[in-house]
Amino acid sequence: MKENQHNKWWHHATIYEIYPRSFCDANGDGDGDLQGIIRKASYLKTLGVDAIWLCPIFASSFMDSGYDMDDYYAINPMFGTQEDLDQLISVYHQLDMRVILDITLNHTSDRHPWFLDACASKDSAYREDYIFREGRGDGPPNNWVSSRTMRSMWTYNAATDDYYFHIYTQHQPDLNWRNPSLRQRLYDMLRYWIDRGVDGFRLDVINKIAKPDEFNDVPDGVYADALCENRTESHAFIQEMRQAVLPNDRDILLLGQTGGVTIPQAEAYTAGLDQELDLFLQFEHLDIDRGRDFNRRSWTVPQLKQAVLRWQRSEQNNTWPTVFFGSHDSGRMLSRYGDDRLRYRRRSAQMLAALQLCLGGTHIIYMGDELGVANRRHRRLDEFRDVRSRDVIQARLEQGDEASKILDDLNELARDHARYPIHWSGRGQFKGYQQSIYHFYQKLLELRRQEEALQWGQTRSILDDHSDVFAYTRTYHQQRIVLIANMSSRRIELNFQREDSTLILSNYQRKVKGILRPYEVRIYRENICSARENSF
């Protein structure tokens, strides 16, 4: 492992993801805002995070929660003003935390002035900013259906009697990255935000910006999204963007969302340091229980382990992972991978926190996970508001799926769960700060700062096939950290006491020899000279 290549501020950072509308409402109008985020700066500093990632804060029609931008230069009035953002950046910088903005460069909204102009006439100067094609007969140019909306990727535009292309909803027309003038305008915009002080960007679906030359039909029943993912041309675009945008005197993070990447593809995006992306986001472990149309699948601990651990750095994997178990796009991690019944909520949230934060890589904590926020389950399908949930409901009802099955699936997986307002006063349910989930996160983040093995250590799975225990070691020179987590509500007999190991953190106060209690997690430190490798 070449450590010196991985010493930028983000390599050992913990980033806190904020969905601004639901985080903290300072002006009392029912929506979170930038002033609310400013108000929480010292809370986040005390938690121990190094940076915040703000989901889109730009002017938007909000059809897809801001991932449909009307104007890349204007702050959504729901969240505040440019001055609020300037103040936010300065407050966070004073506390030595960085600010990352989320930007969608794959598409704009259908209310963006470029798109409105492009739709008005074939002679528009912005026509080449988007992808228009003549229809075929009475229908769209080809048979492409998006897995995301489960509908055609083409929408008819009457004024020019043709169709525009969109991977996501019809309100999110894809930009045409082959147009150099468009690319320059996007780069200008990124430079503008860097000059205003932001420390990086989370680049939404950046692995989809390159589209095929030809829009040929795909076999029936096949979703066409994959044809727009990780295309070779996207590398040249990202390289050009990086060259054009990043200043020499500041380390600006480019964190790319690259769903569906393989390890070699992720290496291609990131391994040539300072050429394309700095970090990437992949979702293999988050897809473990979720089919494309949110059909829930059962999963096992060994499967999860495999999906998580194969993305840790190793001889076979030269990438630097970004580790997270929840986001604005998924159900709450506590409800999916833990146990949100009141009886187990605190311990299973703490177990998951430890399981995550002892892994190698850059970490992302999703807002509220440090408070044990769980899914909010619904009784009726019409209670789901998110555009994706609504698309899933409609498509699956049309396919003849039982409403009760869709409800069950969405109660686990819908994006809505991550997007409900955080109730800041509701922390009393975990009485006592010392025992709280928040405090456990604090201790884990402190540990990450102290233990070199957690920063640089080689990760190795142990107890591979155990049906309920997720365990691994992190080894660096003579130091080793061992994590053992019971992911079930069973008491498990396990003789895990190793010689010369010291228990440094656990979510139970008293140790019981030979038994792992429900959702118990233990973190040990070992000195390798004396520890026996195979004491399990």
Q: Which residues bind ligand GLC (CB under 6 A)?
A: 64, 67, 104, 168, 204-205, 257, 328-329
d(C-alpha 484, C-alpha 503), whole Å: 11
Rg (CA), the chain: 24
CA distance 334 to 338: 5
Q: Report in angstroms how near the CB of residue 385 gets to ligand GLC at its nearest.
A: 14
The three-state secondary structure class of 279 is strand
Residues 6 or more apart whose CB falls under 8 angstroms from that of 109 comprise 60, 61, 63, 68, 69, 70, 115, 171, 172
Asked whether 507 and 519 are in contact (CB, 8 A), the reply is: yes
Distance CA 44, CA 88 (A): 13
Smallest distance from ligand GLC to CB 507, Å = 31
Beta carbon nearer to ligand GLC, 385 or 532: 385
- 239 and 177 Cβ atoms separated by less than 8 Å: no
> Look-up: residue for tokens 């025992």?
435
* Distance (Å, whole) CA 433 – CA 422: 18
Nearest CB to ligand GLC, comparing residues 124 and 258: 258
Q: Considering the complex, state which of residue 67 and residue 132 has its C-beta at the smaller distance from ligand GLC.
A: 67
Name, in order, each residue with C-beta under 8 angstroms of 185's C-beta and a sequence gap of 6 or more.
none
Nearer to ligand GLC, 207 or 348 (CB): 207
Beta carbon of residue 257, minimum distance to ligand GLC (angstroms, whole number): 6
Measure Cα distances from 491 to 300, 468, 488, 512, 523 in Å.
17, 10, 8, 11, 18
> In angstroms, what is the minimal distance from the CB of 439 to ligand GLC?
30
- The residue type of 314 is S
**Nearest distance in Å: CB 63, ligand GLC:** 10
- What's the min distance (Å) between Cβ of 360 and ligand GLC? 24
Ordered DSSP codes for 213-245: SS-----TT--SGGGGSS-HHHHHHHHHHHHHH
328 or 525: whose CB is closer to ligand GLC? 328
Shortest Cβ distance from residue 35 to ligand GLC (Å)?
24
Burial letters 12-21, b for 16+ CB under 10 A, else e? bbbbbbbbbb
The residue length of the chain stands at: 536
User: Measured from the CB atom, is 257 or 389 closer to ligand GLC?
Assistant: 257
Q: How far is the CB of 218 from ligand GLC (least distance, A)?
A: 21
Least CB distance to ligand GLC at residue 67 (A):
3
Nearer to ligand GLC, 204 or 451 (CB): 204
Q: Which is nearer to ligand GLC, 172 or 475 (CB)?
A: 172
Taking the least distance from each CB to ligand GLC, the nearer of 118 and 418 is 418
SS3 of 516, please? strand
Q: Rounded CA gap, 132 and 444, in Å? A: 51
The DSSP string of 450-507 is: H-HHHHHPEEEEESTT-SSEEEEEEEETTEEEEEEEE-SSS-EE-----TTEEEEEES
**Which CB atom, from 126 or from 168, has the smaller least distance to ligand GLC?**
168
Question: Min. distance of Cβ 147 from ligand GLC in angstroms?
Answer: 12
